Amino acid sequence: MQLIRIRTDDELTLYKDIWDQILAREHNDNPFIEYAWFYNWWKIIGRKERVELYAVKEEENIIAFFPFTVRMQWGVRIYAFAGENIANYSGIIALEKWLLSASTFVFDELIKKHRHVIFSFHGLLESSQSSKVIEQYFVERHMRPSIFRVITPYLAFPEIDFLSYFNNRRKMHGVDRRERKLKNLGTLSSKTPNHNELWQMFRLFDRRWAKKMDTSSFTKGKKREFFEHLTLLHDDALKVDIEALVFEDQWIAFTYGFSCRGRYVSYVLGHEPNFNSFGVGRILYHYLIKRSFNEGYSKFDMSIGYEPYKFDWRSGIDFTRRMIISSDTKRAKFVKSRFAFKERLKETLKSSHRVVEWKRNTLGQLRYLVKYGKGKDWLEYGQRFVEKFIRFKQVDVFELPPTDSVTPLRPVGLLFEEMSIQEAMHLKQEALISLFYQGYTIYKDSFAETSKPAFALHTDNWRIDALQIVESLPKQTYFLTYDVYKNIDIITDFFQKIKPAHTLWVTASVWQWRKRKRLQQLGYKRISRIKHFKCGRYERKQVEKYTESGGDVYSVH
């Protein structure tokens, strides 16, 4: 056998047909080792890295390619597969019958050439031949590998009755109900965008992760250029697959993935944070799975990670390995031990969903506050932090009975009118979109220069989000919410004009003493008081109900 070093991406083009033929004959479905992926990675991102690409020649034929990157640490040479921080999976490009012999030849040559050496291989699927052969080689050489795993769920379409499986999973977490709510409010559709629309994908991703910790750098610098360039590929095997969820001509979610010989690999998801309550990410995921089945894919790969939505859909699980092996020198073993400790710590932390959520959300929020936060933002964050340990909430519920007078106290005319969700979307307020999801009718000032919400009414439920209370309203009763204190007089008159035969409920917290006083002046009567106290794990809720006989009190611990 002969080892050939390919030194530039221009030189690599001479081997394109051989590379493609090897993977085609092996029916490769790993998009991250396709020629189109590696060539463009090397051309756009890899120029700043030290790439060592080897081809193995047997007699007159090229039988394998080994795409490595190399770096030095403390005099130790560290080999890794190319694209370590961007490719989810890796592997050796070789015909299966030559895989073991070619790997043996290459690794023997590298170990013979370099005394202090470490092999740090990421993205090795346990089900792949590359993973098995690499492990076999080092075990036979008495070089014990340190192996770290992360779960990789997938959905294999041939193994399930898809229609019944899909319908059952679609009802989980109320996704079908959320989708119906969204469709009732406007036009909802999915689409495959063209290249000129990709700016919306990157903008949406940045909005999704603005207050969270993102480690992918999907929209940053050369990585953005790389992922955007891949969408222009017309390769037969590797194809970039982008799906967008569009509501009223606005992108609210997207997925970016790869298809390769019957396998779809999910890579990046993003959604509009203002639509969190509708679960638009899950809705689009369902669309994508159904489309993948209809287009004849055999496997829907959800990629590495412990995210709950992946487990909702998976029909099976694989594991993706990182394998670390060192030569027998003390220096190499020491550096390997540091690598192994770091990987073991990462493996433990990533397997805990609570830790991942804390890093992603809490640290992300702190980073955002440090960069862009104002005094008010810091006070709100501090209040939420303190309330995790100790909290006292007191909320009064007031009732305004139906009016006997047809004419309101003041001429309110058509001062308020209903706001559509399309108008609310332009305001970019998550709380406002959540009101639509909860079933409120939102009213705006009819004569304001710009759309601005004034108040919201609900016909079925009354709720106190701070205490996580949601209960049904009595018949002929409405619940009033949103920031209504400043205009409570006018809002009350307006309600009595449009709904004179109905009762109105409204709440006021312990700190809103001016609001409580004004409500009583306008004829509202306090009908209940809810107190909630929390200190550590101890919680106590007390509800006082006021009736003509003096009311009653009961406590919930």
Residue whose tokens read 């569009």: 246
- Return the DSSP state at 17: H
Whether 515 contacts 508, CB under 8 Å: yes
Q: Are β-strands 117-125 and 76-81 bridged in parallel, bridged antiparallel, or unpaired?
A: parallel
pLDDT for res 384: 81
* Number of C-beta neighbours around residue 69 at 10 A: 19
Work out the average pLDDT over 285-302: 93
Does the pLDDT of residue 441 top 90, yes or no? yes
**Cα 101 to Cα 1: distance, rounded to the nearest angstrom:** 9
Q: How confident is the prediction for the chain on average, in pLDDT?
A: 88
pLDDT attached to residue 371: 84
- Lowest mean pLDDT, pick from 140-149, 178-187, 288-297, 341-350: 341-350
Q: Which of 345-359, 365-379, 389-403 has the lowest mean pLDDT?
A: 345-359
* The amino acid at 366: L
User: Residue 45's pLDDT band (boundaries 50, 70, 90)?
Assistant: very high
Query: CA 304, CA 88: separation in Å to the nearest integer?
Result: 7
254, 270 Cβ separation under 8 angstroms: yes
pLDDT digits (tens, 9 = 90+) for 301-330: 999 888 888 888 899 999 999 999 998 899
% pLDDT > 90, the chain: 52
Task: State residue 250's pLDDT score.
Answer: 92
Q: Quick one: tokens of 99?
A: 């895989």
Separation CA 201–CA 520 (nearest Å): 51
Q: Rounded CA gap, 236 and 20, in Å? A: 10
Q: Could you tell me where the beta strands, DSSP code E, fall in 128-216?
A: 146-156, 188-191
Is pLDDT of 56 > 60? Answer: yes
| Rounded Cα–Cα distance for residues 55 and 60 (Å) | 12
Angle value at C-alpha 9, between 8 and 11, nearest 5 degrees = 65
Tens digits of residue pLDDT in 232-291 = 987 778 999 999 999 999 999 999 999 999 999 999 999 999 999 999 999 999 999 999
Whether 324 contacts 146, CB under 8 Å:
yes
Query: How far is C-alpha 120 from the chain's CA centre?
Result: 28
When mean pLDDT is compared across 189-203, 518-532, 533-547, the lowest value belongs to 533-547
Say whether pLDDT at 555 is over 50.
no
pLDDT confidence band for 407 (50 / 70 / 90): low
Residue 48: strand, helix, or coil: helix
pLDDT-wise least confident of 9-13, 180-184, 510-514: 510-514
Helices (H), 235-329: 280-294, 308-313
Instruction: Supply 355's token pair.
Output: 């830790």
pTM of the predicted protein model? 0.87
- The yes-or-no verdict on residue 553 having pLDDT over 50 is no
Q: What one-letter code names the amino acid at 194? A: N
Most confident residue range from 40-44, 163-167, 533-537: 40-44
- Residue 215 pLDDT: 77
Q: What are the φ/ψ torsions at residue 435 (nearest 5 degrees)?
A: -65, -40
Q: How confident is the model at residue 540 (pLDDT cuts 50, 70, 90)?
A: confident
Position 78 confidence tier, pLDDT thresholds 50, 70, 90: very high
pLDDT single digits (tens) 181-199 = 999 999 999 999 998 999 9
- Residue predicted with more confidence, 361 or 89: 89
CB 166 within 8 A of CB 289: yes
Rounded to a whole number of angstroms, the CA Rg of the chain reads 30
Pairing of strands 263-271, 299-301: parallel
Whether the per-residue pLDDT at 466 is higher than 90: the answer is no
Confidence (pLDDT) at 550: 38
User: Token pair of 97, please?
Assistant: 């019958």
Q: What is the pLDDT of residue 98?
A: 92
